[in-house]
Amino acid sequence: MMRKTLAATLLLFAATQLAPAQGSPARAALDSPYTVEYYYKVQWGHQQEFLDLFLRNHYPLLKKVQESGRILSVKIETPANHTTEDGRWDYRVTIRFKNSALGTTDNPDEGRLIRELWPDQERYRREEQRRFEILLGHWDLPVTDITPR
């Protein structure tokens, strides 16, 4: 009886240590693509201004980084319908990075790329400041694809 109890205890311990916690995503392999959804909630009446600034001053940078291979894809979406104010978001930018290391570390080339893409650095800084002035909320959500293969 003691052997059965010990075996059952060991089996239960192993299962809880090896299985992910309920609701937690499966761990992605280090060389697998890594996806992050970036959500933006903008002050009412400023959604188009935010989008214009984003497309002018951030999207070109994302596309340049994509050319380098660090980013695999960039997708910009807006909801078709509205939700409650507390759950509202205006734009979602989904970025698939080549791997989790590239998705969670700073890009050492970013400063150089910004100077190349926007020679008028004063205008760039002013417009980026404005983009964040009209922003009510921003959050990043790493997601894991758990679709069975």
Q: How do residues 51-65 score in pLDDT, each as one tens digit?
A: 999 999 999 999 999
Structural fold of domain 29-142: Alpha-Beta Plaits (3.30.70)
Average pLDDT over the chain, rounded to an integer: 86
What does the pLDDT look like over 26-40, one tens digit per residue?
455 678 999 999 999
Q: Could you tell me the strand order of the sheet in which 34-42 lies?
A: 71-77, 91-97, 34-42, 135-143
Q: pTM of this prediction?
A: 0.79
Unique residue bearing structure tokens 């983009």: 131
